Amino acid sequence: MNINDAPVVTIPDMKIDLGGSFVPIDLCTFISDPETQSGEIRWTITGSNYIEVSVDHCIATILIDDPFWVGSDTVTFTATDNDPVDPLSTSRDVIFTVSNTGHNSINKYRINNYALYPNPTDGKISLLSDGEDSSDLILEVVDMYGRVLMIEKINQFDNQIDISDLAKGSYIIHIKSADKTEVIQISKY
Domains of the chain: 8-102 (2.60.40.10), 106-188 (2.60.40.3080)
* E strand segments, the chain: 8-9, 14-17, 25-26, 31-32, 42-46, 51-56, 59-64, 71-80, 89-99, 109-111, 114-117, 124-129, 137-142, 148-154, 158-162, 169-176, 181-188
Average pLDDT score over the chain = 82
pLDDT tens column, 63-92: 988 777 888 999 999 999 988 888 999 999
The three-class DSSP label of residue 47 is coil
Q: What's the N-to-C CA distance of the chain in angstroms?
A: 56
Residue-level pLDDT at 135: 61
In the predicted model, is pLDDT for residue 162 greater than 60? Answer: yes
The three-class DSSP label of residue 63 is strand
Question: Cα-flanking dihedrals φ and ψ of residue 101, to 5°?
Answer: -60, -30
